[in-house]
Structure 1
Amino acid sequence: MDFTTGGRLEVRITPDDVHKRVSVRLLTGDLSGPERFTDVVGVLTSWTGGVLHITRRSGESVRIEESALVAGKVVPAAPARRRGPAANARELDRVAARGWPPTEREPLGEWELRASGGFTRRANSVLPLGDPGCGLDEALRRVTGWYAERGLPAYIQVSTGAEGTQEVLAAELETRGWTREVSAQVRIAALAPIADQDADISAVTLSRQIDDDWLARYQRSSRPTPEALSVLTGGPSVWFATIRGEAGESPAAIGRCVVDGRWAGFAAVETAPEQRRQGLARAVMTALARRALEEGASAAYLQVETDNGGAHALYDGMGFTLHHSYHHWRAPSTDSA
């Protein structure tokens, strides 16, 4: 990355560039030894007291001493995306929220407080898609109080890594003692190539209804609460896929898809451990994609935890690419007790 003017490294950022996306080069390691440099790219979330904080695409906050800077510049808000359907982070976050709907919600300005008896963080966290209509400290006070009334920890789901995401909010939460617990990726793809996968879907059964067999394979909740069932079956147009196991056994594989306009959202794609690497998950997704195409969808999305390597390999092979990441930040225990 070019930081030079006339062949000389230059620091071309100032504290006035806070909240902009920047790229910096800094000196690292033992200054008495050979010089070593590293580059950091992300949103400049603060620059005070001779210290910069930059939030990377991954949601990680990097602390940099001003004295270590050797070069820096403002860069475009987000890199151009060459593959996958056109979409912005706010659209995708809204669509994904509709596809995993909470049993209870309440607006706070442009934030949405969501609760579902504790079933998944996605359905029990704040979706902050704009201005809460009050100062941040007041908003956080209301958030922690709302979840405390329900006996739940307070979480805020914060997106990073694309134009219009919330790196600044992530940095503000960190300074207030909130903890980033779980990170995940939002991945997207064109739907037709998924439906065209070379997969044997003859054993896949599709249903509008969720049954005991499907739930027996579902890892999160084999004995779901009413709130869990409401979340799983909620959404604009929901389909469940099952590949039955042998007599008396749990299904070999399951999946869920919700169709919402042009989007088809995939979730709960799970395979019996002893039957993995046999193409069953691919078959489930292919069958669901074909049904979603019939309903008029053209684009696909899914959400997968960052450390789920096996799932990433499957989704890479089916053409899904990273759009942005999101993170669940938990309130300090003294606030959510």
Structure 2
Amino acid sequence: MPADFSAGARLELRITPADVGRRVSVRQLAEVTDGRPTFTDTVGVLASWDGGVVYITRRTGETVGIAESALVAGKVVPPAPVRRATAVPAMTDEELDAVAARAWPAPETARLGGWTLRHAGGFTRRANSVQVAGEPGVPLDEALAEVVRWYGERAATPYLQLSDSSPYAAEAAARGWLREADTLVRTAPLAPLTLLPEAAGPVTLSRTPDAGWLAAYHRTGDLTDAALQVVTGGPSVWFAAMPGAIGRAVVDGRWALFGAVEVIPSHRRRGLATAVMGALARRAAQEGATAAYLQVEADNEAARFLYDGLGFSDHHGYHYRRPAA
């Protein structure tokens, strides 16, 4: 990455943990060879600063951990220019599902060839199912038996998350695995979302959900540690809140996930959902995202109608399979 500090400038560390959420440029000591130091620069969003480690999320979505002791300079820099791309990047079903998986990470995972077994104490099917991608590395019946065994050890239902285009969808059906929860992955250019109007009240953005946000989110209930790890996990996570509405976005390179957009019944039809999405979109654009995506259950007609009006279209569908009882 090109240096962001001029050669003659005085090196100063002018960032603190209070700058989490802002775009920064830092220089770190890479190594010392024959008494001569070499440095590397990193530019991105300061995601966190914990335990003596600074975490910065680059425009690509990669999060880099840098030891605080290695920092020799750092400063806050202007937000990245908003790119007004009008087309959604071409992605296969599996590629976009992989981006989505990073935005909703299970605290416990295991690999089975190209498949990823995920467990989060039962919090959402997505975080408690097998992300089926590529080959499992063993014959299918052996792979399914391993899935059943792994989830059985955790007293959990073994679910497969399968793209509708996956060849394993028909294979699982032929073996009696039952289909559940048809879901649509929908995409849209991000730039139009940044122009959504603001509501009368301000939208607050934060890196962590407060008690009010969690209380408004219908999925949390008695929130476990595992569930909180899922909700707060991802490359660059933002929570939006305003009186009567909440939302969540995760920026991962050029993609921004929108989810948990909820409005309490007494505040509906006031434009709060679009205000929350607009605020999140503007933040995502500042971090370099150009495309938006979301996941919505196929039978949720109200949500689909809302997202139709915001320019979202279907990218692909996926569903879950579980063994017959």
Structure 2 length as normaliser, TM-score?
0.72
Task: Tell me the equivalent position of 1:32.
Answer: none
Cα distance between partner residues in 1 of 2:179 and 2:297: 13
Cα distance between partner residues in 2 of 1:152 and 1:201: 45
Task: Tell me the equivalent position of 2:307.
Answer: 315
Cα distance between partner residues in 2 of 1:201 and 1:291: 19
Task: Tell me the equivalent position of 1:174.
Answer: 173
Amino acid at match of 2:266: E
Verify the 8 A CA contact 2:237 2:248 in the aligned structure 1.
Answer: yes
Verify the 8 A CA contact 2:178 2:323 in the aligned structure 1.
Answer: yes
- Residue 123 (structure 1) aligned to one of 120, 123, 127: 127
Cα deviation for residue 221 of structure 1 reads 1.4
Cα distance between partner residues in 1 of 2:200 and 2:123: 31
Classify 1:83/1:259 alpha carbon distance in 2 versus 1 (closer, same or farther; 3 Å). closer
Cα deviation for residue 290 of structure 1 reads 0.2
Task: Tell me the equivalent position of 1:113.
Answer: 117
Task: Tell me the equivalent position of 2:220.
Answer: 221
For each residue in 1:276-321, what CA deviation from the matched residue of structure 2 results, as whole angstroms up to 9, or x when unmatched?
A: 1111010000000000001111111100001111111111111111
Task: Tell me the equivalent position of 1:277.
Answer: 269
Correspondences of 1:147-296 after superposition (within 5 Å): 147-160=151-164, 165-166=165-166, 168-200=167-199, 202-244=201-243, 252-296=244-288
Correspondences of 1:78-117 after superposition (within 5 Å): 84-117=88-121
Unmatched segments (≥5 aa) in structure 2: 1-85
Verify the 8 A CA contact 1:259 1:297 in the aligned structure 2.
Answer: yes
Amino acid at match of 1:133: G
Secondary structure of 1:105's counterpart equals: strand
Cα distance between partner residues in 1 of 2:113 and 2:156: 21
Secondary structure of 2:128's counterpart equals: coil
Identity %: 56
Unmatched segments (≥5 aa) in structure 1: 1-81, 245-251
Classify 1:318/1:146 alpha carbon distance in 2 versus 1 (closer, same or farther; 3 Å). same
Amino acid at match of 1:101: P
Cα deviation for residue 175 of structure 1 reads 1.2
Verify the 8 A CA contact 1:108 1:133 in the aligned structure 2.
Answer: yes
Cα deviation for residue 88 of structure 1 reads 1.6
Classify 1:140/1:201 alpha carbon distance in 2 versus 1 (closer, same or farther; 3 Å). farther
Cα deviation for residue 199 of structure 1 reads 3.4
Verify the 8 A CA contact 1:184 1:325 in the aligned structure 2.
Answer: yes
Verify the 8 A CA contact 1:238 1:257 in the aligned structure 2.
Answer: yes
- Alignment length, in residue pairs? 240
Task: Tell me the equivalent position of 1:144.
Answer: 148
Structure 1 length as normaliser, TM-score?
0.69
Cα deviation for residue 329 of structure 1 reads 0.7
Task: Tell me the equivalent position of 2:12.
Answer: none
Amino acid at match of 1:149: E
For each residue in 1:213-249, what CA deviation from the matched residue of structure 2 results, as whole angstroms up to 9, or x when unmatched?
A: 00111001132111110000000000000012xxxxx
Cα distance between partner residues in 2 of 1:273 and 1:328: 30
For each residue in 1:76-104, what CA deviation from the matched residue of structure 2 results, as whole angstroms up to 9, or x when unmatched?
A: xxxxxx96432221110000000000010
Verify the 8 A CA contact 2:251 2:289 in the aligned structure 1.
Answer: yes
Amino acid at match of 1:242: A
Amino acid at match of 2:129: S
Secondary structure of 1:144's counterpart equals: helix
Cα deviation for residue 202 of structure 1 reads 4.6
Secondary structure of 2:127's counterpart equals: coil
For each residue in 1:142-185, what CA deviation from the matched residue of structure 2 results, as whole angstroms up to 9, or x when unmatched?
A: 0000000001000000002xxxx30x211111111110011100
Deviates more, 1:83-92 or 1:219-228: 83-92
Verify the 8 A CA contact 1:255 1:285 in the aligned structure 2.
Answer: yes
Cα distance between partner residues in 1 of 2:200 and 2:282: 10
